[in-house]
Chain A
Amino acid sequence: MSTRERVLRGVSEVLGRPVASIDDDSSPDNIESWDSLKQMNLVLALEQEFGIRFTDERIVEMLSVRLIVAAVAQLGPQANSDSER
């Protein structure tokens, strides 16, 4: 599975919505249930899924599926989890 597909699956699990209803442009702005708590759950779930750790500065920028995929890709899945500590 590609990074993008794994992110989409993560978003779908955390929001409790079918994967098909989520695309690159999905964001807290156009999905009502995507509140700040869900955003936190999503970030922590992705960190666990990919074995990475985002900085707080990165987290505040992760505001759509597209940006989240980019953030994950930049750290590299399974990259050293200390990479941005």
Chain B
Amino acid sequence: MRLTYSQIQGELNSRDLAALPPLRIAVLRNVVVEPIEPYLRYFAYRMGCNARCEFSDYDNVFQEAVGGHKGILDAQTDCVAVFLKLETLSWDLARNFAGLTVGRIEEEADRIREFVSRVLVGIRQKTNAMILWNSFELPPHPSLGIFDYQQAHGQTATIDQLNRFLGDALSDHRNAYLLNLNACLARVGARSFYDLRYWHLGKAPYSREALEEIGGEMFKYIRPLKGKNRKCLVLDCDNVLWGGIIGEEGLAGIKLGKTYPGSAYHEFQQEILNLHRRGVVLALCSKNNEADVWEVFAQHPDMLLRKEHIATARINWDDKVTNLTRIAEDLNLGLESVVFVDDSQFEADQVRQCLPQVEVVQLPSSRAVEYRDILAAGGWFDAPTLSQEDRHRGTMYKAEEARKELQAQSRDLTSFYASLEMILEIRNVDEFTVSRVAQLTQKTNQFSLTTRRYSDAEIHALSESASADVIHCRLQDRFGESGLTGVCILRYERDRALIDSFLLSCRVLGRGIEDALLVQCMKRARSRGCTVAVGEYRPTAKNEQVKDFYPNHAFRRVAGNPELHYFELDLTSFDGLEPPYFHRIDTQFQYRAKVGSQ
């Protein structure tokens, strides 16, 4: 998808970016990297954001991070990108290595460790934004040549150690990551990664191709930060999972196996399976006779994918736009969570045109050997953390299907709920659940009363505040764990409890969990000394279904405006009951002082 500079500019100029939510990127650097800006703006636009990039003055990393020289780091910053090139930071380690004694090497390494530590602390004092710190590049040609690789204190080993130090230092902070610049370098290749002309003319080391790759790598982190990473991979079958057309060539005729030409499809399936194990939900969307496709899954000796890996399938002769929409409905996922893979230009174009939210990947069927790389390079599903929920998402959807079957057999809703044997666990957020809670605030759109987005760091800060409670719930039933799927954030002001956020993952809607969670949270507010609870409803394009949530739970409507509706509940006379059909509601809150008594 290499785009030229002017194609990117044209695309950006033709859109009304100002209407999109802002994404503020601050770049601290000791080299010239300004030409990365169009790529960052383009990737941001592709995820529905309007990026604004601000650069520290040249080689002013310390002045900016510690001294706030230009003031580009503040509470509104979403992401801080750090480009510290070793050539500028330490000419000795980068280029003069052959002339250094072991003592001098250690001295320089110490100086750099001290420097980066102070910069890191400086950044964190100014902002909780995500930090993406580019690792030091390993030299394609070390100063000592191949002798370097034999040396415990060689250049490669020294830079490696500095990178490990950086990684450790960053992992001590929330939301701070070492961006693997050497992986970017390897993908592009050193000969194309650097533009030596502009390194000499203007201290701008990286080629356009390199900057596009680095920008792409940055957005693998930024997308999940904003809840924009994708969750579901929808696959065509013929000439995608195997070579040839099953309906024509039959089980023995299709290409699939460990040797050429089937090996390309074997490797592709292995990559898909890896995504499944990372929590990506798999679905099939194929124009075929359904029985033919399942026969391949069940009978072909070289199929790596099995029916149990597939959460849902639409195998019929309807158009793919209709089928993709149905798949998203089946899975209770938005189309903006979907990556659709097909080899047909026609299908790809139609989906691109009708469902622009879907990321469409058109595989080149004449070059199946590239399939695996295309999928692996996309980065659409990437996230720097992998929660338990993520890992088990695939199996959770299978359990959901079993629930639907049971529901179809049950006489009425209450007996269905009771037959699920639901256990609801309600807790304060802790260090293990901060990320998942933040993730839910980022991703939840439908059952969300205020749709306020919070970062890991913000949830962490709220959880430590004496005047707030961050509460979550997790559900399990006879079919398995649904994981952490509900959040309520209470902020206390004297005797009033403001329900700042109240949301449920759409995966567990329609089981009365919201009723139980609300009741427990109101009791919590009362036990902390509150007499009134205030609920807010902030209408968005997607949360219409909760507009009457508070009135339906005995809250009284009070003043508000079209953007923000207020509701109040008198806690002194509150006697709400949890729904009767839960097998158990297990609530344990941390001990906290009453709000009024501080």
Is there contact, CB below 8 Å, between A37 and B32?
yes
Of B32, B35, B200, the contact of A44 (CB 8 Å cutoff): B35
Of B4, B35, B197, B202, the contact of A48 (CB 8 Å cutoff): B4
A40-83 CB mask vs B (1 if < 8 Å, else 0) is 11001100110000111001100000000000000000000000
In Å, the complex CA distance between A40 and B34 comes to 10
B1-43 CB mask vs A (1 if < 8 Å, else 0) is 0001110010000000000000000000000101100000000
A55 to B, closest residue via Cβ = B197
Judge whether A5 is part of the interface by a CB distance below 8 angstroms. Answer: no
B5 to A, closest residue via Cβ = A45
Of A13, A36, A54, the contact of B6 (CB 8 Å cutoff): A13
Is there contact, CB below 8 Å, between B6 and A37?
no
Judge whether B208 is part of the interface by a CB distance below 8 angstroms. Answer: yes
B9 to A, closest residue via Cβ = A13
Is there contact, CB below 8 Å, between B5 and A56?
no
Residues in B193-208 with C-beta less than 8 Å from chain A: 197-198, 200-202, 204, 208
With a cutoff of 8 Å between Cβ atoms, the chain A residues found around residue B32 in the complex are 37
Q: Categorize the interface residue count of chain B.
A: 10 to 19
With a cutoff of 8 Å between Cβ atoms, the chain A residues found around residue B34 in the complex are 37
Q: Is the interface of A mostly helix, strand, loop or mixed?
A: helix
Is there contact, CB below 8 Å, between B202 and A36?
yes
Of A45, A48, A59, the contact of B201 (CB 8 Å cutoff): A59
Interface residues on chain A, number (Cβ under 8 Å): 15
B207 to A, closest residue via Cβ = A44
Is there contact, CB below 8 Å, between B5 and A44?
yes
Please judge, given known A-B contacts A40-B35, A41-B35, whether A49 and B6 are in contact too, CB under 8 Å: yes
With a cutoff of 8 Å between Cβ atoms, the chain B residues found around residue A45 in the complex are 4-6
With a cutoff of 8 Å between Cβ atoms, the chain A residues found around residue B6 in the complex are 10, 13, 45, 48-49
With a cutoff of 8 Å between Cβ atoms, the chain B residues found around residue A48 in the complex are 4-6, 208
| Total A-B contacts with CB atoms under 8 angstroms apart | 35
Please judge, given known A-B contacts A37-B32, A41-B35, A44-B208, whether A60 and B201 are in contact too, CB under 8 Å: yes
Is there contact, CB below 8 Å, between A40 and B198?
yes
User: How far, in Å, is A54 (CB) from chain B's closest CB?
Assistant: 8
B35 to A, closest residue via Cβ = A41
User: How far, in Å, is B203 (CB) from chain A's closest CB?
Assistant: 10
With a cutoff of 8 Å between Cβ atoms, the chain B residues found around residue A49 in the complex are 4, 6
With a cutoff of 8 Å between Cβ atoms, the chain A residues found around residue B202 in the complex are 36-37, 40
In Å, the complex CA distance between A81 and B549 comes to 65
Residues in B330-381 with C-beta less than 8 Å from chain A: none
In Å, the complex CA distance between A79 and B5 comes to 20
With a cutoff of 8 Å between Cβ atoms, the chain B residues found around residue A41 in the complex are 5, 35
With a cutoff of 8 Å between Cβ atoms, the chain B residues found around residue A55 in the complex are 197
With a cutoff of 8 Å between Cβ atoms, the chain B residues found around residue A40 in the complex are 35, 198, 201-202, 204
In Å, the complex CA distance between A44 and B195 comes to 10
B7 to A, closest residue via Cβ = A48
In Å, the complex CA distance between A54 and B202 comes to 15
In Å, the complex CA distance between A40 and B200 comes to 12
B301-334 CB mask vs A (1 if < 8 Å, else 0) is 0000000000000000000000000000000000
With a cutoff of 8 Å between Cβ atoms, the chain B residues found around residue A60 in the complex are 201
Is there contact, CB below 8 Å, between B200 and A56?
yes
With a cutoff of 8 Å between Cβ atoms, the chain A residues found around residue B201 in the complex are 40, 56, 59-60
With a cutoff of 8 Å between Cβ atoms, the chain B residues found around residue A59 in the complex are 197, 201
A44 to B, closest residue via Cβ = B208
In Å, the complex CA distance between A48 and B207 comes to 12
User: How far, in Å, is B431 (CB) from chain A's closest CB?
Assistant: 44
Is there contact, CB below 8 Å, between A56 and B9?
no
User: How far, in Å, is B36 (CB) from chain A's closest CB?
Assistant: 12
In Å, the complex CA distance between A13 and B392 comes to 49
In Å, the complex CA distance between A60 and B198 comes to 11
With a cutoff of 8 Å between Cβ atoms, the chain A residues found around residue B5 in the complex are 41, 44-45, 48
With a cutoff of 8 Å between Cβ atoms, the chain A residues found around residue B4 in the complex are 45, 48-49
B178-198 CB mask vs A (1 if < 8 Å, else 0) is 000000000000000000011
With a cutoff of 8 Å between Cβ atoms, the chain A residues found around residue B200 in the complex are 56
User: How far, in Å, is A72 (CB) from chain B's closest CB?
Assistant: 15
The CB with the most chain A CB atoms within 10 A, among B200, B201, B204, is that of B201
User: How far, in Å, is B342 (CB) from chain A's closest CB?
Assistant: 30
The CB with the most chain A CB atoms within 10 A, among B34, B197, B200, B202, is that of B197
In Å, the complex CA distance between A37 and B9 comes to 16
In Å, the complex CA distance between A11 and B161 comes to 45
User: How far, in Å, is B349 (CB) from chain A's closest CB?
Assistant: 26
Given contacts A56-B200, A56-B201, 9 further A-B contacts (CB under 8 A): A13-B9, A36-B202, A40-B198, A40-B201, A40-B204, A41-B35, A48-B5, A49-B6, A60-B201
Q: Which residues of A contact B (CB under 8 A)?
A: 10, 13, 36-37, 40-41, 44-45, 48-49, 54-56, 59-60
13 example contacts (A-B, Cβ-Cβ < 8 A) are as follows A13-B9, A37-B34, A37-B35, A40-B201, A41-B35, A44-B35, A45-B4, A45-B6, A48-B4, A48-B5, A49-B4, A56-B197, A60-B201
